[in-house]
A and B are shown apart, each in its own frame.
Chain A
Amino acid sequence: MIKLHHFHGGIHPPDYKSQSTQSAIAQAPLFSEIVIPFHQHAGETAKPIVQVGDHVLKGQMIGMPDGFISSAVHASTSGTIAAIGLRPVAHPSGLPNLCATLIPDGKEQWCQLEPVDYRNHSQAELQQLLRMAGVVGLGGATFPSDIKLRIGKQQVNTLILNAAECEPYITCDDMLMRERADEIVQGAEMLRIMVDAEQVLIAIEDNKPEAIAAMQVAVTMSGVSFEVVPIPSIYPGGSAKQLILILTGLEVPSGKLPTDVGVQSFNVATTYSVYRAFAHGEPLLSRIVTVSGNVLHAKNYEALIGTPMNELVALSETLPDSNGYIMGGPMMGLPLPDIHVPVVKATNCVIATSDKLFPPPPPALPCIRCTRCVEVCPAELQPQDLYWFAKSRELGKAQSFSLFDCIECGACSYVCPSHIPLVQYYRFAKSEIHAREKEKKAADLARERHEFRQLRIEREKQEKAEKLAAKAKAAQSLKPAKTDNEVITKSEV
């Protein structure tokens, strides 16, 4: 057993997980319309490579990765592309995004799949395969996995499978581990080889004993020397840098990557997708989604990417007093103003809300500097000072008090006795700083251009003058007698 470490702070919110783990993962049916956004990952939007009217097969690529950080997008079932255009999606901005609307033909006709033996391919080839299979982090950040595998000359000693799943309500990773532990372990071995790690740690919060047991069995059966590590259930123990600290005692320096301390981590569901991509040649077409909260049957579904979220929650029968939906967990999730959006790679959970389950917060009182937020902050910040600076728009000070080390986990807001929406203030301050930097860059560019133009005009003037002088000189030395002519030339100029 490895020795566990503690990160500063953290909270113990009630976990509400048992509701959705009573039954096995259910297969969500095929609905009459599938909407596939081209931007489901961190980085650049994938470039559409199909046209309206095209018939596509299940697994066929419809969006080509475009740019270094990007990932492919595929048709999750066979059918016809009915439209390509802007559709509402689940995004903090609330703006619609480029999507392909696919009308399934119901045949589930696969395209040609090409399983690969990961042992016979180079690192670069495997990374390219994952990029083309659209494999991205399924823990919520949806960072393209191939980028995380490009570790260059860095040495990765420890590979971490992140199965902490520390947010309340969410159980998709828990259920995946209970039911598909073998595939996850095989995926982990593939990742281990790709980063050439010596040690593999599978971190699971101790509130998931069934998943821990299932993973232990799978590890033993497959004969690998991975270690399943039950970690204390404390939010946000699943945050990458906090998890690395728990398992290794190493603190990833601010602004650096886990690979800088010889660690890389992947979510278990991502690991499962890596396995599917190599062993079956399957791109990422579906994911497990927890539907919970104010519903009759809280449950996990395996849903195709693009499944209408309203249809998916309808399967669990939303209760009549529901008043909204959250995508993700109650700590960091996104409120959905409109449930008519597609399930995307980031959709780990959909929670139906009601006033009873999520009472609106009482009006905020002033901060009394009780420092409960300091006690729980996993980034060891001074949330009350950041709040003060954000509120008074002292953005420089907020930055010097490490605003950008805030991981927006929401622990401070959770404990605040004045009910101040602290994280909102930090998000606001961060976006203001970004906006100002952008403005400053634009202004700098404009100034540079202006200065260059001035310089050019000046230089041209000078060159002209020099040319003239040279010409005059030449004329003088060549035709010293023809002074009249010279005068005419000068006046002409």
Chain B
Amino acid sequence: MFYSPFISKPDSVAQIMLKVLLALIPGIALYVWYFGPAILVSITLASLTALTTETLMLKLRNRPVMAFLKDNSALLTAWLLALSIPPLAPWWLVVVGTAFAIVIAKHLYGGLGNNLFNPAMIGYAVLIISFPAQMTSWIAPHGLGQVELIFLEQINYIFLGELPPDVALDAITMATPLDTMKTHLHLEQHVNQILDMPIYGRLAGQGSELVSLGFLLGGLYLLLTRIISWHIPVAYLGTLLITAGIFHLLDPDHYVAPMFHWFSGAAMIGAFFILTDPVSSPTTSKGKLIFATGAGLITYLIRTFGGFPDGTAFATLLMNICVPLIVLYTQPPVFGKKTKGADKSKVQS
């Protein structure tokens, strides 16, 4: 006999994770459209690695394998990490990053629900620090590269590192729009001059701006289905908008407009899919706002003044550290303890 309540809403962790995976699909579809199907190879590779390492770790930890494998959380980590790695990256890069995310960042912290850091972002951080060259050569969008590889040639390059005889690596890859902007600003060029370069589209990078739009659409679906609350995306994108806006207004020649920041790099996927990871973000509404505002500021600072082209991953990880403290100091008042005369026993650490 079990205990009350005897009824429950037909809902599960697996369904939540599945909906988040589904919400990534518009972004992924646009990715394939503009950059070719190589990304699907990385996603598959990451998924297989994630499921294998997850099974292994569950066995090592004596946990029921099937119950946890079905929760889709390892798949989500895999997809998010694959999307932050250049699609033409060698296969072992994806495998190492994913394995690190699942084994170290997830299971050594206690598995599902216990990780302090976002596992996908730990995987990304490890890769960008250890393999900067491989992590910064991105595939050129459709119509921009000198040469375009067909799918088989892409697979050949990912697994064997072989390019067709007459093609140089530089001909098919390029720096990201964020990276290009940063490099050229260092060369004393003005923002408007840089934006005239062919890799830029209406708001940000040609192609990549639409991939960001795809993630924005998926994010809106998550908001509508109440899988995430508005606090983190609004505070994160809002902070980026305001900070970038202030700098841009003061010096438009050296600081690019806020919309460029929104639609470049990992801003959109970060706002809706990464920072909103419930396990590693605050549980209180006020805490979510503080967390995302901090992440927005750090992202802007790293992008504009730091050494890395994008800052979302490090911003997420740095703010992940602060979560327990933020949660402790943003406890909302309890029913019956808001009015005068109530027992205001304070929450202590």
Contact = CB atoms under 8 A, between A and B. Distances in A.
Interface of A: 7-8, 11, 13, 168, 241, 251-256, 324, 326, 328, 330-335, 337, 353, 358, 360-363, 365-371, 374, 378-382, 384-385, 397, 400-402, 405, 410, 413-419, 421, 423-424
B104 to A, nearest CB: 18
Highest count of chain A CB atoms <10 Å: which of B5, B278, B345: B5
Given A251-B336, A401-B347, A365 B283 contact: no
Contact of A369 (B5, B73, B229, B278): B278
Nearest to A253: B342
29 contacts: A251-B338, A253-B339, A253-B343, A255-B342, A256-B336, A324-B1, A326-B4, A330-B4, A330-B7, A334-B4, A358-B6, A361-B2, A361-B8, A365-B12, A365-B68, A366-B111, A366-B113, A368-B278, A370-B16, A371-B283, A380-B335, A381-B334, A382-B283, A385-B327, A400-B347, A413-B8, A415-B8, A417-B15, A423-B4
B164 interface: no
Interface in B32-67: 64, 67
Given A332-B5, A363-B64, A374-B283, A415 B11 contact: yes
A156 B4 CA distance: 34
A11 B8 CA distance: 11
Is the contact region of chain B dominated by helix, strand, or loop, or is it mixed?
Answer: loop
A141 to B, nearest CB: 15
Given A335-B1, A417-B16, A254 B11 contact: no
Given A168-B7, A360-B2, A414-B7, 16 more contacts: A8-B335, A11-B9, A251-B335, A254-B336, A255-B342, A328-B4, A330-B6, A365-B68, A366-B112, A367-B113, A382-B283, A400-B345, A413-B5, A417-B16, A418-B13, A421-B2
Of the four ranges (under 10, 10 to 19, 20 to 34, 35 or more), the interface on chain B belongs to 35 or more
Which A-B residue pairs are the 6 nearest by beta carbons? A366-B113, A410-B5, A254-B336, A253-B342, A330-B6, A402-B334
Nearest to B331: A382
Contacts of A353: 6
Interface in B296-348: 327, 331-339, 341-343, 345-348
A255 B336 CA distance: 8
Contacts of B3: 335, 421, 423-424
Given A253-B341, A365-B68, A332 B13 contact: no
Contacts of A368: 13, 16, 73, 112-113, 278-279
Given A366-B112, A366-B113, A370-B278, A382 B284 contact: yes
B179 interface: no
Nearest to A334: B4
A369 B276 CA distance: 11
B11 A365 contact: no
Q: Which of B2, B64, B67, B71 has the most CB of A within 10 A?
A: B2
A252 B5 contact: no
A373 to B, nearest CB: 10
A79 to B, nearest CB: 34
Which of A11, A241, A251, A368 is packed against the most chain B CB atoms within 10 Å? A368
A136 B179 CA distance: 74
A379 B337 CA distance: 10
B67 A363 contact: yes
Contacts of A362: 12
Given A379-B335, A380-B335, A405-B334, A254 B5 contact: no
Contacts of B2: 335, 360-361, 421
A369 B283 contact: yes
A182 B331 CA distance: 48
A419 B278 contact: no
B337 A254 contact: yes
B74 to A, nearest CB: 13
A11 to B, nearest CB: 8
A423 to B, nearest CB: 7
Nearest to B113: A366
A241 B347 contact: no
* Among B9, B278, B341, residue most surrounded by chain A Cβ atoms (within 10 Å): B9
Contacts of A369: 113, 278-279, 283
A9 B265 CA distance: 37
Contacts of B333: 380
B192 interface: no
B13 A402 contact: no
Nearest to A335: B1
Contacts of B345: 400, 402
Contacts of B1: 324, 335, 337
Contact of A331 (B5, B13, B16, B339): B5
Contact of A254 (B73, B114, B343, B348): B343
A365 B6 contact: no
A379 B342 CA distance: 14
A410 B4 contact: yes
Contacts of A168: 7
Contacts of B4: 326, 328, 330-335, 410, 423
Contacts of A241: 335-336
Contact of B67 (A253, A365, A401): A365
Given A253-B342, A371-B278, A382-B284, A415 B9 contact: yes
B272 to A, nearest CB: 15
B276 to A, nearest CB: 10
Given A251-B336, A324-B1, A361-B2, A414 B8 contact: yes
Nearest to B16: A417
